[in-house]
Amino acid sequence: FEAKHRERVREFRIRPEPSPDDLELYAVTHIEPPGDRSQALGYNPATEPTRFHAMETAAQTGKASVTDRLVLKADEALGLKRGAIVLYAPTYYSGAELLPQNERAHLVHGFVGAGFYLDDFVSHLRRGPSARQIGFQILSGLGESEGRLVAQTGVEEQPEQHYRQTRTLSVPGGSWTITYWTLPEFHESSSYYQVPMVALTGLVLSLALYSLAVVQAKARRAQELALYHEIERARDLEEQDKAKTRFFSNLNHELRTPLNGILGMSDLLYDTNLDEQQKEYLESIGSCGKALMELIGDVLDLSKINAGKMDLNLAPHSIKELFSQALEVVRGPAQGKGVELVLDWDDNIPLKVSLDGQRLRQVLINLLGNAVKFTEKGQVTLRVTAAQDNDLLQLCFEVQDTGIGIAREDVKRLFRPFSQLNNELTTNDQKGTGLGLHLCRELLNMMDGSIEVQSTLGVGTTFRCWLPVEPAEPDGYETQTIPDAESQLRKPLRILVVDDNPINRRVLGLQLEKMGHEAALATGGREAVSTVDEVEFDLVLMDCQMPDMDGLEATRKIREKHSNALSIVALTAFSEETQRAACLEAGMDDFLTKPIEASMLKNILDKYSQMAARAAIDSDQ
């Protein structure tokens, strides 16, 4: 605890020195405004009985509680003996508001304390010609006999005093007994009938001063609480990252779900009888939808990287095929502008290497997309070389363009999030979110790689990346497998589609029928469970997030009755390994990520169609 706060205040230490027998340990961690009172930092107020009693009362009642008279530690350190009181208000851990008040005490996180000098309550009675004729006293508690002195001013009580009055005033966490009196001299200089009015006026003034003090306390408490919560937010960065990740994951799901319907319907419509102009319009819809999907993926990936939740999936990949596919993604926009795409490949690179193909593809498409976007004429070159580095292969790839280039002052901030070029050569069409290059650098850093840029304004730009990879096939040869006759067998499947979104249900149903399968539709998890009990299916495509019963719970209920005889494939907008693991643990067999491309769906269906065909052959034998 001390070490944590010494990062902010070098001399921070808990005072008095805590012992193993201490039941309650608190420490002053923040003072506002700092000023000369910073020496109170680290002080444990629970060591003073009057402070501890007020704190304990506040914790039990959930309301502010005031101490008896004391000397503030900051004043004590300066040798001052000014009387004061402290108002303590409790703060609780999250969730305490859901409990009854009498059960919240164990969830107290700390206290906000506001100190008041007692002079502020009675100073008005020390001024004026009657100051030596009026006495005023405040005791804590309900009675004069047992009360402890809080404040006293004016003349002391004398046997010859003429008027005396006692009142009880409720204060946070207790009561004060207020007594005031006058001497005969005051009466002689005033009308007899004015005396009660003066006393009443004194009481009203005192109450007004007290009310003012409470208002000040509330204002200071609000400031302290705002500061406290701000500091808590700064301390709980990990919790913030988790919350942010959950937010972006949910946002990802909500955005991908309608996009899945848009792209799916576009694909289905494209295969109908259309003229060339209609096809062109559909291609534009598909292109925009895919661009939006990439942007959603970028935002989610950045949130996962910031939260430390990004996982790498290393697997053997045909490296040249991966680079060629990235070029194909930007070939359409390049041809539309008359920009030539060139692949300069080093033939000494092994055919297959082990890496995260999805993440490398993201980097390549971002870099190539930017190069095409900022190049109006000329060419974009993707140059790939490699050099041996012990057991690893240092892959170097460059994306070089003949575009507008980047000013020297812009290069320094190029990889910052949301940073964009603002030179006079940039058009509105060339502006984006400013996330792409930042994401490229973060992804490469995750893969132990790096990126640098060289550019000349008006001439062009080169992004150069290094990435260590492991050769997957040291001999450099790739074997080809000739499919056997059994693998070519296909059996039409009876498939249940479970999704609460009507558009997605219809898209999947039409896609399945187009591929030669029979589809039935269910609107939620409960309907899916009852339908499977009544009708025999070969496969269930199960959405994971549904309002009545989610896909995981529905799968568990289906497995209770049907064991593993029925294949279930998850449909979800989440691609994290934790989500995959949750699906498999619930009893699902496979995983499809939204938006569901026709090729991905076909691969899954072919897999289970072959399994069904083999099972049919085995049963006949």
> Domains of the chain: which residue ranges?
2-117, 120-235, 238-306, 315-471, 486-620
Residue carrying the six token digits 């499977």: 532
Any idea which of 90-104, 109-123, 541-555 has the lowest mean pLDDT? Answer: 90-104
Q: Which is higher by pLDDT, 155 or 202?
A: 155
Predicted pLDDT of residue 477 = 41
Evaluate if residue 224 carries a pLDDT over 60: no
Does the domain at residues 2-117 carry the CATH identifier 3.30.450.350?
A: yes
Burial, 237: exposed, middle or buried (Cβ in 10 Å; 0-12, 13-18, 19+)? exposed
Evaluate if residue 315 carries a pLDDT over 50: yes
Rounded average pLDDT over 333-348 = 91
Report the largest interatomic distance among the alpha carbons of the chain, rounded to a whole angstrom: 125
> Helices marked H in 271-414 — which ranges?
276-306, 319-337, 357-373, 408-411
Q: What is the pLDDT of residues 188-220, one digit of tens each?
A: 555 443 444 444 445 444 544 554 455 445 435
Predicted pLDDT of residue 540 = 95
Cβ neighbours, 10 Å, residue 370: 22
Using alpha carbons, list the distances in angstroms from residue 387 to 318, 451, 464, 609: 17, 17, 15, 44
| 2-117 and 238-306: identical CATH topology | no
Helix (H, G, I), strand (E, B) or coil at 312: coil
Which bin fits 513, alpha (ψ -120 to 50), beta or left (φ > 0)? alpha
pLDDT band at 286 (very low <50, low <70, confident <90, very high): confident
Q: How far apart are CA 413 and CA 397, in angstroms?
A: 22
Burial, 588: exposed, middle or buried (Cβ in 10 Å; 0-12, 13-18, 19+)? buried
Predicted pLDDT of residue 476 = 42
Predicted pLDDT of residue 486 = 47
Predicted pLDDT of residue 128 = 54
Question: How many CA atoms, within 13 angstroms, populate the side-chain half-sphere of residue 413?
Answer: 10
Q: 601 Cβ partners below 8 Å, 6+ apart?
A: 508, 511, 515, 592
Q: Which is higher by pLDDT, 510 or 160?
A: 510
pLDDT band at 463 (very low <50, low <70, confident <90, very high): very high
Q: Which is higher by pLDDT, 37 or 208?
A: 37
Q: How far apart are CA 517 and CA 569, in angstroms?
A: 16
For the CA atoms of 612, 614, 620, 621, the dihedral, rounded to the nearest 10 degrees, stands at -160
Rounded average pLDDT over 426-450 = 71
Across 549-581, b (16+ Cβ under 10 Å) vs e yields bbbbebbebbbeebeeebbbbbbbbbbbeebbe
Residue carrying the six token digits 């009990």: 533
Read off the amino acid at residue 407: A
Give helix 551-562 / helix 577-586 axis angle, nearest 10°: 30
Q: 329 Cβ partners below 8 Å, 6+ apart?
A: 365, 368, 369
Q: How far apart are CA 370 and CA 555, in angstroms?
A: 43
> Among residues 532, 526, 525, 530, which one has the least CA distance to residue 496?
532
For the CA atoms of 9, 14, 15, 20, the dihedral, rounded to the nearest 10 degrees, stands at -170
Q: What share of the chain has pLDDT > 90, as a percent?
A: 18
Cβ-defined contacts of 50-56 (< 8 Å, 24+) = 51/86, 51/88, 52/24, 54/86, 54/87, 54/88, 54/173, 55/26, 55/88, 55/90, 55/111
Evaluate if residue 324 carries a pLDDT over 50: yes
Predicted pLDDT of residue 527 = 94
Which CATH entry fits the domain spanning 238-306: 2.40.30.10, 3.50.50.60, 1.10.287.130, 3.20.20.70?
1.10.287.130
Helix (H, G, I), strand (E, B) or coil at 364: helix
Q: How far apart are CA 6 and CA 17, in angstroms?
A: 16
Q: 566 Cβ partners below 8 Å, 6+ apart?
A: 532, 537, 538, 539, 540, 558
Q: Which two tokens stand for residue 389?
A: 């580095």
Residue 521 has φ and ψ, to the nearest 5°, of: -120, 140
Q: What is the pLDDT of residues 356-367, one digit of tens each?
A: 888 898 899 889
Read off the amino acid at residue 281: Y
**Where does 315-471 sit in CATH, by number?**
3.30.565.10
**Where does 486-620 sit in CATH, by number?**
3.40.50.2300
Question: How many CA atoms, within 13 angstroms, populate the side-chain half-sphere of residue 287?
Answer: 11
Q: Which two tokens stand for residue 603?
A: 């691969």
Q: How far apart are CA 328 and CA 372, in angstroms?
A: 12
Q: Which is higher by pLDDT, 129 or 586?
A: 586
Mean pLDDT over all residues of the chain? 76
